Chains A and B, each alone.
Chain A
Amino acid sequence: MSNQNNAGTTVLMTGNEAAARGALEAGVRFCTSYPGSPAVEVADVLFSAKDVYGEWSTNEIIAFEAAAAASYAGLRAITVMKHNGLAVAADFLLSLNHAALKSGLVVVIGDDPSGHSSVNELDSRQFVRFAEVPLLEPSTIEEAREMTRYAFELSEQVGTFVIVRLVTRICHARGNVVLREIPDFPAVKPSIGKEERFRCRPPLHVDVHVRQEKAREIYEHSPFNSYSGPQSETVIVSSGPSVLYAREALQILGLEDKVGLLKLGASWPVPREFVLKTAGHAENIIFIEDIDPFIEQNIITVLAQFGGKRYKFFGQGSGHVKGEWGAGMGEMNPDQAVQALCNVFDLPNPLKAPAVPTPDGVLKEELPVRELTMCPGCPHRSSFWAIKTALELDGRDGFPLGDIGCYAMGARKASNFLLRSVFCMGSGAGMANGFGQLQNMGFDQPVIATVGDSTFFHACLPALVNARYNNADFTLVVLDNSTTAMTGFQPHAGTATPGKDSKSIMMIEDVTRGMGLETVVCDPHQLDDTVENLCRLLKKKGANVLIMRKPCALMNYRLEQRLFEVDSEKCLGDDCGCSRFCSRVFACPAIFFDESIGKAYINDTLCTGCGACATLCPRGAIYEKSFSGTEGKN
């Protein structure tokens, strides 16, 4: 895809792929990222490009810092992270803005309105107002490419980094992109001049304002801002994919000739002259955007201060624009945009699900919701089983804390709400440091902090140093599936990495033992052994570590395709006394209980062949079968 000869062709790309393409078209040479949905693939694509140094950094602040170094050394650089990652990197973000940069530095953020794959739905645009740096908000996949390409140029013109805010409906949407050439950029020898200094000092705050003003002047003429439709008394102001929803809502309601649409792609710093020129004439201003009323508040400020008259504002603040969760929550969509316009114009909503359910049909009741759960064969299912069993055997009302990753599903219904907390990366281990100091005040419950292998390196090392130094009582359980599974199998410091010497692998047990913490490694599918070890560690004073190591079932399945089957002769069904262990208790979603014959069976369209059920079935009724259909050995 990095072939410059493809210039001019129209292809279908995701927003992530398009942003990566834009960076290549701009001659990016250095890319760092910590994987976070929805923006992971931007880095995935750039890492496979030639002439680009790419690394999965251990966390986002290091990724950002490393990319800034490349910029100072004269290379165009990009760093990619999700909204939570920007919060991790915030300390550097709010310092680096004080000093002028050299080569273009672009920060691509994946915001996740509605939190499809996130614990929250932070609006990263709040950070650009805080840091006073330029923001670009693509509305289409094509713009994701073009804005990312342009962002490097802008960064060099203004002298600070530029944030490109993608949202899930850009990152994970596909659309048509016209490729531009990837020129043969001359090789740059990175270097730092003898007199160059990079630092942040309070007096430099004035430079931050100066750069922001420079960006605003450029944004007054940005091609990413446009006005369409009539010069009417009502104008919609919108950004991101919401622009397309707003336009479709106008079509659906036949309001295209009555309402103008102001699209802001270069939205911060606010191009105030452009806004006054295009929307200043209007009486009614409607705001349609994702998550926070960011555009809404900025435009209200501009019009109130410089508009010279009174306007009526319709948006989240007025209550006219809101989703099913209320105003300022959840992602914008065409339904909400239509409803918002209906609210403003007092029109009936024409969008209806046609399907009039028959009164006695199955739709008379709400359809069962599909609870998220761990995949078939997931080692976390066994790990959670072991934790639950060990805490029951221990009998002191102990509890496990959660963290960020697939295993956060341990806090959901399908895991019986086992995990008691889920906040940010590393928070489980951090909070365990607090619970672990309450013993002198009568707190007598054992505490487990669960953490993934990638999260361990990202955010848990300071927590463990603290635990050792301050002697906190808890057990850290590392759910080590040997990859960053949630975001699509990215490597990390503890795994083999393509192109890297295997000597660079850092074993988690070496790290924790080096800190002086007792550490045990076990295979979670070996349940008896795992439970026994955990029970023993829970009784010990101080902090200790149990690593439950088993590669992710999906990753394993890609390597060795195996299938398992229930021997219906051996399976005793409800007569067994196992209480439908495989399907109901262990709850692997690939195992069903066939009520018609009263036996378990494995759905071969879902089974990943981990074999955990075969080890667990008390009757030994589950056996491996080969792909060609012939039976293998048990």
Chain B
Amino acid sequence: MKDFKEPFNIILAGVGGQGNIVASRLLGIAATMAGFKVAVGETYGASQRGGSVMSHIRLSKKNEFGPLIPTGCADILVCFEPLEALRVAAKYAHSETTAIVNANPIYPADMLMGVGGAYPPVEEMLAELEKMLGRVLTLDAADLARRAGSPKIVNMVMISALAATGYLPFARSFFDEALEEFLSKVPAESREVNRRAMELTIKL
């Protein structure tokens, strides 16, 4: 792990209904276990309603920070959807930012109705991200989630990918511990599905 950047800022970005809040809570708990001062800011309200959603996660060794990350100050972006990746990168990233991007598009509701313009081509958006950011990792999270047994756990796949990259400023064991604590509260069947998602992702 290289020198810790104070504060260390992570954004999870996606579309309402993808499980953004569960994922950010899990990361926040892991960071708390690792001894950081943690601040998490989340979007509710729109979260089940197809809107753009994001969670800001801020880790500090010294100070308490507010739950919102200033413009251009996000160090890691975990993006559950490519259009949201570009939206959040354009405002919050800096040139060293790392992005982990699920390349499966979710089309905005008004676009489906034929009143909302066109969805930008995914390859073009990914190319733009490559130009803007320090590092871009893409994966097909929906496919991994399906293979694990439930198309609904894209969120687990995405944060498992983040943990697997080693970019988090704390040891993997804290992430695993937080995940186990979370899984102990879900039905046994989902527990297995989530674990499988984790394993499949880490193998990548």
- Chain A residue numbers with a CB within 8 Å of B46 are 116-117, 372
Of the residues B43, B49, B67, contact of A409 by C-beta under 8 Å:
B49
B95 to chain A, nearest CB (A): 5
Of the residues A172, A245, A554, A603, contact of B66 by C-beta under 8 Å:
A245
B107 to chain A, nearest CB (A): 6
Q: Does A591 contact B (CB under 8 A)?
A: yes
Render B152-191 as a binary contact track against A, CB cut-off 8 A, 1 for contact: 1010000000000000000000000000000000000000
Of the residues A12, A38, A354, contact of B44 by C-beta under 8 Å:
A38
Q: How far is the CA of A596 from the CA of B125 in the complex (A)?
A: 19
Q: How far is the CA of A238 from the CA of B102 in the complex (A)?
A: 40
Render A345-386 as a binary contact track against B, CB cut-off 8 A, 1 for contact: 000000111111110011100011111111110000000000
- Chain A residue numbers with a CB within 8 Å of B133 are 355
A334/B66 in contact, CB under 8 A:
yes
Q: A367-B86, A368-B83, A369-B108 are in contact. Are A248 and B71 (CB under 8 A)?
A: no
Render A319-358 as a binary contact track against B, CB cut-off 8 A, 1 for contact: 0000000000000011100100000000000011111111
Q: Does A205 contact B (CB under 8 A)?
A: no
* Contact segment of A146-154, A306-314, A525-533, A582-590: A582-590
B64/A175 in contact, CB under 8 A:
yes
B154/A605 in contact, CB under 8 A:
yes
Q: A356-B132, A605-B154 are in contact. Are A371 and B40 (CB under 8 A)?
A: no
B152/A351 in contact, CB under 8 A:
no
A380 to chain B, nearest CB (A): 11
A370/B42 in contact, CB under 8 A:
no
A604/B151 in contact, CB under 8 A:
yes
Q: Does A568 contact B (CB under 8 A)?
A: no
Indicate the size class of the contact surface on chain A.
35 or more
A338/B70 in contact, CB under 8 A:
yes
Of the residues A172, A333, A354, A583, contact of B112 by C-beta under 8 Å:
A583
Q: Does A570 contact B (CB under 8 A)?
A: no
Q: Does B76 contact A (CB under 8 A)?
A: no
Could you tell me how many residues of chain B have their Cβ less than 8 Å away from some Cβ of chain A? Answer: 78
Q: Does A140 contact B (CB under 8 A)?
A: yes
Q: Does A414 contact B (CB under 8 A)?
A: yes
Q: How far is the CA of A334 from the CA of B74 in the complex (A)?
A: 13
B70 to A, closest residue via Cβ:
A334
Render B83-95 as a binary contact track against A, CB cut-off 8 A, 1 for contact: 1101101111111
Q: A175-B38, A354-B72, A406-B49 are in contact. Are A37 and B65 (CB under 8 A)?
A: no
B63 to chain A, nearest CB (A): 8
Q: A361-B127, A362-B125, A605-B145 are in contact. Are A373 and B132 (CB under 8 A)?
A: no
A351/B49 in contact, CB under 8 A:
no
Within 8 A of B (CB), among A581-634: 583-585, 587, 589, 591-593, 603-606, 627
Of the residues A12, A351, A372, A374, contact of B32 by C-beta under 8 Å:
A12
B71/A335 in contact, CB under 8 A:
yes
Q: How far is the CA of A10 from the CA of B35 in the complex (A)?
A: 9
B71/A353 in contact, CB under 8 A:
yes
Of the residues B40, B89, B112, contact of A584 by C-beta under 8 Å:
B112
- Chain B residue numbers with a CB within 8 Å of A11 are 32
Q: Does B48 contact A (CB under 8 A)?
A: yes
Q: How far is the CA of A358 from the CA of B132 in the complex (A)?
A: 9
Render A1-21 as a binary contact track against B, CB cut-off 8 A, 1 for contact: 000000000111000000000
- Chain A residue numbers with a CB within 8 Å of B145 are 605
B108/A169 in contact, CB under 8 A:
no
A592/B112 in contact, CB under 8 A:
yes
What are 11 A-B residue pairs whose CB atoms fall within 8 Å in the complex? A12-B40, A169-B67, A175-B40, A353-B72, A354-B72, A355-B89, A358-B131, A369-B116, A370-B52, A587-B113, A606-B106
